[in-house]
Structures are given as structure tokens and as C-alpha cells.
Chains A and B, each alone.
Chain A
Amino acid sequence: MTKKQENKTKRKRSWIKADDISGYLFISVAMIIFAAFTVYPVFSAIRTSFVEYKPFGSEFVGFENYIETFTNALFYKSVKNTIVYTVVVVPLSLVIAFSIAVMVMAFRKRTQSIFKAIYYLPGIASGVALSVVWLWLYDSSPSGLFNRILSFFGLSTQNWLNSSKTSMLSLIIMALASSQGSSIIIYVAALLGIDNSTFEAAELDGASFMQKIRYIVIPLVKPSTLFLFVTGIIGSFQVFMNAYMMTGGGPDNNTTMIGLLIFNNAFVYSKYGLACAQAIVLAIIIAAISFVQFKLMGVDVEY
């Protein structure tokens, strides 16, 4: 509101021209890159989704790529896999990150920083490096670490990544164990932002620890929860790296998720049109989910 008024008064002054020129100069490089490598590809993707791509003159095929998408069993399987992965990983991640953040709060600032750094550390290694390590942890031979743990408890060893029973579970465990750092830091920041007097008042009323968590902490960190939930789901729907490196989508496409399906269609089978159609469907799914989440959860969240 104030900004619009500000703009109006400024426009009336004599240096409007100067502001326009310096504005455009400041954004010029950014906008050229943005136009060439973001705006153009988006529109090109929409166009490509209606053609059968050929290097020399593509053929317009109408909605055929979309029809192929929605009549393909593998597409539904990959959507199902993505949903299973998301429904397990995102809420569990939030619970783990929230619990760790609450536990960290019992300590002094210095100790908090040490734990934040430790939990953040695995996140700075690349997806390729982490998947190389985790491949060995899931080694199907008895010397694989997870198999050693199983034999320690007297259980039979598993073919973790190559059996349809455990392949998805393996990817889920990996996701839960290696990427909580950012969420923990965000929750700690939110917890530090809660006014101490709120807790003191609750304490005077005889509130227990769990009551404080339930009636003060959880409602007050809701904006962070919503943020992590939405970004978590968006990220999870685009998961590619681990499935690609660890299982290749197998066995029997049991870990093929939408991201990997689109990648395979585009860069293994060169079906660019189909890949673009599926990517646009993915974008619409993500937009719809985000919209519903903000409608359902965001009504009383203030930014």
C-alpha cells in the first residue's frame, strides 16, 4: 500500500526517467539470463508437450502426449511411488526435526550451535557422494553394514536395494537419516523466537512440559511447520538423485518416481514431447498441492 503511494509520488518528480533507466540497467543482465534460460524454456516446454519432437521439424500431435501419460500404467505407478515416499518421509522428517530442535533447546547457546552444525553437516556433501556411501551401507553381501546390523540381531540378511520388499524402504531410511539439518535449524530459530513470558505464564498456571509443547510451542511454530511441510512435499515430488543413483528405479520400477520417469523419457528414450507433458502435469500437481495446503493450514498463519 505504502509502496504504491511512494511510486506515484515519485513518478511525478522530474527524475522519473533516470529511475527507469537505472532500474533497467540494474536488472538487464539478470533479466537476459532469466528470459533465455527460464522464461523461454517454460513456454518451449508447453509447446513441446504438444509435439512429437524431431531434430528437424517436430510434428504437432495435439494432446497425444497427455493421453499417453494418463493411459500409461508406469505413470500411475511412479505417481504412487512418489506419494508413498512423500507420505512417509515428509511427516516423519518434521517429527524428527521438531523433536531434535526441542531437545536442543534444553542446552546453552554454544551447545545448540554444536548440535546444529553436526546435524547440518551431512547436507553439504553432494548427492552423488552420499549415494556412493549409502550403496555400500546397503551392500547385499553379509559385510554390508545394514546386513551386519541385521545379523547382530540374529535376522537374515537382505538384498536391500534390489528386492521389491526393501528397495523403497531403503530410500526412505536414507532420506530420513541424512537431511534433517536445515529443518532443525529452522525449528530452533522458531523456538528461540517464542517469548519467554508465555512459558512463565503457563508455568504459573501449572502447565506440564507436554502441555507447553501442545498448547504453546506447536501452535507458535506453525508457520515454520507449514513452510517445511510445503517445501518438503515440493522437494519430495521432484526427488530424482537417490532413485537414479541407488536403484535406477528398480527392481521392477518399484522405486521409479515421477522425477526419474521424466528423466528416462527425455534422456534415455528421447521422447521429449512426452517428458515435457509429464513435467507440466507434475508442475500442476505441485501447484495444486501447495494451494490446498495453504488453504487448509495457512488460514491463521501470518507472515
Chain B
Amino acid sequence: MSEMSLYSKHTRNKKVLYLRNSILTFLLVLGAVISLFPIVYMIMSSFGPATDSASASRTIIPKIWTLDSYRAFFDFNKYSLRWIWNSLLVAGLVVLGNVVFASMAGYAFSKIPFKGRSFLFFAVLVAMMIPYQVTQVPLYILIVNKFHLSNTYASLILPGLVTSYNIFLSKQFFGGLPTSLIESAKIEGCNQLNIFARIVVPLSKTVLAVMAINTFMSTWNTFFWPFLVTSKDSMYTIQVGLKFFKFANSTLFGPMMAGATISALPMFVLFFSLQKYFLEGVTIGAVKG
């Protein structure tokens, strides 16, 4: 019996139990339908005709299923496939940077007593609370005007390579590992890099997976920064490309939905294969935060 006893079990009256559970199921399914509807609508409409615009003939379920809208989206710009590749490359490298460097920093902040550690970690904490609007203009001036890095992968990757949040997240997690374990490894003659790679990382697979997935999701979905630092369509990420597609084709319903579906597809694939880590990621971030 995994139900918690917030709810009465109605052991004597099965009818009441069934009625109650039916009402709750109905309400939950209704809510689920409302929240899922836009996504389902997007996917179904993407298989509709490519030419049909805002006309009364538009139906929620397409009458004829076709891939024309996808073809129209990819035909719109010769770089549209490359947008997906750009997004994959940028998100992949940002994930790699965070998983390696943010976790190393988090480990040092929680388990290596070096001088200035509490001050530096405090600075990271403070930085987490500063809204991104504060840094966006100077960052833009730095990357675009001073370093002349617009339309490069460096400009897309470097600012997110190690995030304060991921340093904080891994610090909190590593703080929960027993210090005695690390001390005894040290006495055995292990250096810190060996301890980290051989002992700490194998014990932290879940938190590292959560970090990787959350970082991938936010980088894949990010629009703002890539939009600022790219002006050549060959360097767009898929989110920026979709925005320009939307502005250029404001009446093409089917292709727009196809583009939106494409931009969300990798996330759906990841979600359905690694659901556990997605859901765990929410609570890890919240409970420890």
C-alpha cells in the first residue's frame, strides 16, 4: 500500500473509494489534456499540408498526413540542417565543460580545504542571485565589440561553459559524501585528481547525469544569447533559426509547426529515454537549493 494516509482508505465502503478515485482521475486527466494540448497540437499539425495558411479549413487533426511541412521548413534555408548541428555541437560542448569543470570546482569547494575557498564560493553564491539582465549588455560588448567573436562557436559556448548553478549543485552533492572516504584514500597515497576520478565520480553518476541533462536542456532551448551573437544564418542555432522562420513565414502554419517540432524533438527523445533523471533533477535542484 503506497498510498499515504492523507486520503482515507475507505476500507469499509468500496463504492466511495471508486467514486473518489474516478473524480480525481477525471480532474487529473483534464489538467493533463490542457497542459499537453499545445504540444500534441504542434506535432499533429506538423504533418498537415504545407501551403494551407490561416484558413477555416484548418483542423486539429490533419485530414491528409504528409511530410510536406517538414520539407518546406528544410527548403526555407539551406542551412536549416546545420542549425540543428550547431545546437547539438554547442549544447554538447557546454554539457562537457560543465560536467568536467563545474564538478571539479564543486568538489574542491566541498572537500579540499584550500585558502580563500569560502570567499570564492560565497562569490559564486552571490552571482547566482544576479539576474541575467545585469550581465547581458557587458557580456555582449565584451564578446561582440571587444573580442570580435560574433558568429563563432566560441561566442556561443564560452559564456556557458561553467555555470555558477552547476558549481553550486555539485558542491552541495559532494558535501554529502563522507569525508573519511577521501581522507583514507589520501593516506593510501592517492592524489586529489585520482580521488576525484576513481572514487568521487563513480559515486556521483546520478548527480552528474542530472547536471548533464539540465545543462543540455537549457543550452538547447536557449534563444536569447545565440540570437544576440549570431547574424549569419549559417551560425544560427535551431531556436534562432525557428524565430527567423516564424518572422519570414508568418502565414505558413504547417511548416511553422514542423519547425517547432524539430526544435523540440531532441528534448522529447531525451525525455522519454532518461525520464528518471529529468524528474530527479527537479527535486535535486529544489531540495538542496
Chain A positions near chain B (C-beta within 8 angstroms) = 6-7, 10-11, 19-24, 26-27, 29-31, 33-34, 36-42, 44-45, 48, 53, 55, 96, 100, 102-109, 113, 115-122, 124-130, 132-137, 139, 141-145, 177-178, 180-182, 185-186, 189, 191-192, 194, 196, 199-200, 203, 209, 212-213, 216-217, 224, 227-228, 234, 237-238, 240-241, 245, 258-259, 262-263, 266-267, 272, 275-276, 278-280, 282-283, 286-287, 290
B72 proximal to A (CB < 8 A):
no
Residues of B within 8 A of A180 (CB): 35
Partner of B31, one of A44, A100, A178, A192: A100
A24 to B117, CA, bound (A): 9
B223 proximal to A (CB < 8 A):
yes
Q: State whether A108 and B264 are in contact (beta carbons under 8 Å apart), knowing that A39-B127, A143-B56 are contacts in the complex.
A: no
Q: Are B138 and A276 in contact (CB under 8 A)?
A: yes
Question: Measured between C-beta atoms, what is the minimum distance from A186 to chain B in Å?
Answer: 5
Q: State whether A26 and B112 are in contact (beta carbons under 8 Å apart), knowing that A42-B130, A267-B228, A279-B137 are contacts in the complex.
A: yes
Q: Are B133 and A126 in contact (CB under 8 A)?
A: no
Question: Measured between C-beta atoms, what is the minimum distance from B160 to chain A in Å?
Answer: 8
Q: Which residue of A lies closest to B106 (CB)?
A: A30
Partner of B35, one of A134, A177, A196: A177
B178 proximal to A (CB < 8 A):
no
Residues of A within 8 A of B130 (CB): 38, 42, 283
Q: Among B60, B104, B114, B228, which residue has the most Cβ atoms of chain A within 10 A?
A: B114
Residues of B within 8 A of A224 (CB): 286
Question: Measured between C-beta atoms, what is the minimum distance from B76 to chain A in Å?
Answer: 14
Residues of B within 8 A of A55 (CB): 145
Interface code B54-89, partner A: CB below 8 Å = 1, 0 otherwise?
111010100000000000000000000000000000
Residues of B within 8 A of A259 (CB): 133
Q: State whether A31 and B8 are in contact (beta carbons under 8 Å apart), knowing that A124-B268, A137-B38, A177-B35 are contacts in the complex.
A: no
Question: Measured between C-beta atoms, what is the minimum distance from B5 to chain A in Å?
Answer: 4
Question: Measured between C-beta atoms, what is the minimum distance from A38 to chain B in Å?
Answer: 5
Residues of B within 8 A of A103 (CB): 24, 27-28
A/B interface sample: 14 pairs, CB < 8 A: A23-B115, A26-B104, A26-B192, A34-B162, A104-B28, A119-B35, A121-B36, A128-B221, A132-B259, A144-B54, A145-B41, A189-B286, A217-B6, A238-B131
Residues of A within 8 A of B19 (CB): none
Q: Are B24 and A30 in contact (CB under 8 A)?
A: no
Q: Are A240 and B289 in contact (CB under 8 A)?
A: no
Q: Are B6 and A102 in contact (CB under 8 A)?
A: yes
Residues of A within 8 A of B164 (CB): 34, 38
Q: State whether A134 and B38 are in contact (beta carbons under 8 Å apart), knowing that A7-B113, A127-B221, A272-B141 are contacts in the complex.
A: yes
B150 proximal to A (CB < 8 A):
no
Q: State whether A27 and B109 are in contact (beta carbons under 8 Å apart), knowing that A34-B164, A227-B289 are contacts in the complex.
A: yes
Q: Are B279 and A178 in contact (CB under 8 A)?
A: no
Q: Which residue of A lies closest to B133 (CB)?
A: A279
Question: Measured between C-beta atoms, what is the minimum distance from B165 to chain A in Å?
Answer: 11
Residues of B within 8 A of A115 (CB): 28, 32
B248 proximal to A (CB < 8 A):
no
Question: Measured between C-beta atoms, what is the minimum distance from A122 to chain B in Å?
Answer: 5
A261 to B246, CA, bound (A): 22
Partner of A44, one of B38, B129, B138: B138
Q: Are B134 and A45 in contact (CB under 8 A)?
A: yes
Q: Are B38 and A237 in contact (CB under 8 A)?
A: no
B51 proximal to A (CB < 8 A):
no
A267 to B227, CA, bound (A): 11
Partner of A106, one of B24, B256, B286: B24
Q: State whether A189 and B287 are in contact (beta carbons under 8 Å apart), knowing that A27-B104, A39-B127, A196-B4 are contacts in the complex.
A: yes
B136 proximal to A (CB < 8 A):
yes
Question: Measured between C-beta atoms, what is the minimum distance from B42 to chain A in Å?
Answer: 5
Question: Measured between C-beta atoms, what is the minimum distance from A68 to chain B in Å?
Answer: 16
Q: Among A30, A117, A199, which residue has the most Cβ atoms of chain B within 10 A?
A: A30
Q: Which residue of B lies closest to A212 (CB)?
A: B6
Q: Which residue of A lies closest to B160 (CB)?
A: A37
Question: Measured between C-beta atoms, what is the minimum distance from A143 to chain B in Å?
Answer: 5
B184 proximal to A (CB < 8 A):
no
Residues of B within 8 A of A283 (CB): 130-131, 133-134
Q: Are B243 and A29 in contact (CB under 8 A)?
A: no
